[in-house]
Amino acid sequence: MRFLAAIFVPAILAAQHGQTPENPAHSEMRDPASIAAGAKLYATSCSGCHGPDGSGARGPNLVHRLEGHALKDDELFGAIRNGVPGTDMPPTKLSDEDTWKLTAFIRALTGPADEGIVPGDAVAGEKIFWGAKAACSECHAILGRGNRMGPDLSNIGGSRPLGSIREALTPPKNDPSRNYGLAGNEGVTVALKSGVVVKGIARNRSNYSLQVVDTNGALHLIPMTEVRKLDVMERSLMPPDYATRLSSEEMRDLLAYLARQSVRGPEKIQ
């Protein structure tokens, strides 16, 4: 619970819930106190299966599942209250009031990072992003600045939950491929018959052609008839060592900076 309180609860207490198209019908969905109470209920009732941050354990990853397949508030409430038939998800014995508090926390946990208050110094995080220690800009661009080999991060806070961004920076040791979210799809080294070697990210690959964005951000359109050897990495080119490369404070500040990157701008909480 201390992990939840230190990282996720401050980040989402003021969250709006942009994943639902309608305004919340229940006051708990916007109430910081209800969301905080829902965090405690989650820690005792849900974290054993879904992980303390929603990243999954015995049960599925809630952040990934709900960011791509958003449920309306009533639908999410119903899934929690009634369980999910055909799965290990049981119905809850909580009261309606507590179930709504739990629903509010899960909605906030899986909403876009820019809709909440993320702890950390975003100004310091900006320096980390563009500095040599993290070297994020060697692969990523924000608003036209930086390298275009990796995905553009201009809207990362407006499109991804905080937990998803954190996971991309610090993937589980037994599953480094999870950081594909920020790094792109496949890391490749292409040796051409001409003797040229291209290293970067494969954007599209078929039996006939290959598109590679190299380490300088240049796009190469390569017919497979010109390829002498193609090596595909088992994981992305995203550095796997941010958890040790950056201090906990630096990681917190970097997350705060990334969470603010939204093309729609910060939304005001009423």
Question: Is 126 found in the same domain as 254?
Answer: yes
Q: What is the pLDDT of residues 22-69, one digit of tens each?
A: 455 677 777 778 888 888 999 888 888 888 778 777 888 887 777 666
Backbone angles phi, psi at 113, to 5 degrees: -65, -30
| Both structure tokens of 48 | 């054993």
65 and 170 share one domain: no
In a domain, 203, yes or no: yes
Contact (Cβ atoms closer than 8 angstroms) between residue 8 and residue 109: yes
Same domain, 127 and 28: no
The secondary structure element, H or E, covering residue 43 is helix 32-45
Is residue 163 domain-resident?
Answer: yes
Where in the sequence is the domain holding 253, given as residue range(s)? Answer: 122-180+241-259
pTM score, whole prediction: 0.66
CATH of residue 131: 1.10.760
Residue 227 in domain: yes
**Who has greater pLDDT, 13 or 70?**
70
pLDDT score, position 250: 96
By the 10 Å C-beta count (0-12 exposed, 13-18 middle, 19+ buried), 231 is classed as exposed
Mean pLDDT of the chain: 80
- Please indicate, yes or no, whether residues 91 and 45 belong to a single structural domain of this protein: yes
Average pLDDT score over residue span 218-238: 87
Residue 268 domain flag: no
265 pLDDT band (50/70/90 cuts)? low
State the Cα–Cα distance between residues 78 and 27, nearest whole angstrom: 17
- By the 8 A CB rule, do 253 and 221 touch? no
pLDDT of residue 154: 95
Torsion angle of alpha carbons 262, 15, 244, 56, nearest 10°? -110
122-130 and 248-259 helices cross at what angle (nearest 10)?
Answer: 100
How many domains in the chain? 3
pLDDT band per the 50, 70, 90 thresholds, residue 9: very low
Q: What is the pLDDT of residues 141-197, one digit of tens each?
A: 999 999 888 888 999 999 888 888 888 888 766 554 544 444 446 788 999 999 999
Q: For residue range 192-209, list pLDDT tens digits in order.
A: 999 999 998 888 778 899
Specify if 266 maps to a domain: no
Task: Give residue-wise pLDDT tens across range 62-100.
Answer: 877 776 666 788 888 999 999 888 888 889 889 999 999
The verdict on 71 and 160 lying in the same domain is no
Locate 150 and state its tokens: 């990796």
Inter-CA distances, 179 with 74, 196, 225, 237, Å: 32, 29, 31, 9
Yes or no: say if 98 and 44 are a contact pair by the CB < 8 Å rule. Answer: no
